[in-house]
Amino acid sequence: MSATVTLPHRACGLALVLWGMIMSRAVAQPGAEHRFMWDQANARVAAAQTPADFAGAANLYHQLILRDVRNAPLFYNYGIALLEANRAEDAVRAFQRAERYAGNDPDVRQNLTTALSRLDASQDSPLPWYRVFMFWHFGLDLSTRLAVALAGFSLLCLSLALRLWNLRGAATYLHGIAVAVLVIFGSSVGASLHAESRDQTRERALRTIEAKSPTSSGPAHDDATHP
């Protein structure tokens, strides 16, 4: 019995550790060097006039990404600079990463639509239809989805404990909810983490951002308040 009782305790302990990791990451503040680079990139994109100017600003944002800075404002501004530098394909990836960290943001969604439209001018509705049916995946940021998945994991721990306490009716009910939450949000988190890992690998392989066209048109930049 003692060996069996330790199972939910260990599982719940793991959940608490993961919760602590989320909270510590949420309260972490950017260093002075990163903030300086962020301000420098924002100033450069604000003064940019040509695709080459925006490409230079994109390089500064890229340097922050290579230093493992990860947040929605960075990827959003990076996407704006790439879009103005006529690098629509790279801008799409940047806006997708911004959405990954921001969740349902109208500005990110609008500029993602713009970038996708530039890749295929004949496409009237660039955003895929399945986004409507997977609203939790595209509408909630990664941290929120991870928190919900961990909440489901905690419910699973509780259901195991209730079963050990011979409260099988409540345990069965909670177990069903926990499994549903874990399947829906756990798979969503896993897909996002896989995509983020793939994008990080690609960013590290990318050396410089070069303007491809002397002309540029697109949305105005957004000077976010923090890196």
Go through the domains of the chain in sequence order and give each one's CATH number: 31-218 (1.25.40.10)
Backbone angles phi, psi at 100, to 5 degrees: -60, -35
pLDDT of residue 41: 93
Task: Give the amino acid at 91.
Answer: A
CA distance 103 to 122: 27
Q: Provide the 3-class DSSP secondary structure of residue 50.
A: coil
The model carries a pTM of: 0.74
- Kindly list the distances between the CA atom of residue 225 and the CA atoms of 93, 112, 160, in Å, as whole numbers in the listed order: 22, 21, 45
Give me the average pLDDT of each 10-residue run along the chain (227 residues).
Answer: 49 58 51 85 94 94 90 95 94 94 92 88 68 88 89 84 76 87 91 89 67 42 45
Q: Which residues contact 169 (CB under 8 A, 6 or more apart)?
A: none
Which residues, at least 6 apart from 116, have a Cβ–Cβ distance to it below 8 Å? 88, 92, 123, 126, 127
What CA–CA distance (Å, rounded) separates 79 from 21? 28
Start-to-end CA distance of the chain, whole Å, equals 51
CA dist., res. 62 & res. 56, Å (int):
10
Q: What is the pLDDT of residue 59?
A: 93
Tell me the C-alpha distance between 127 and 164, whole Å: 48
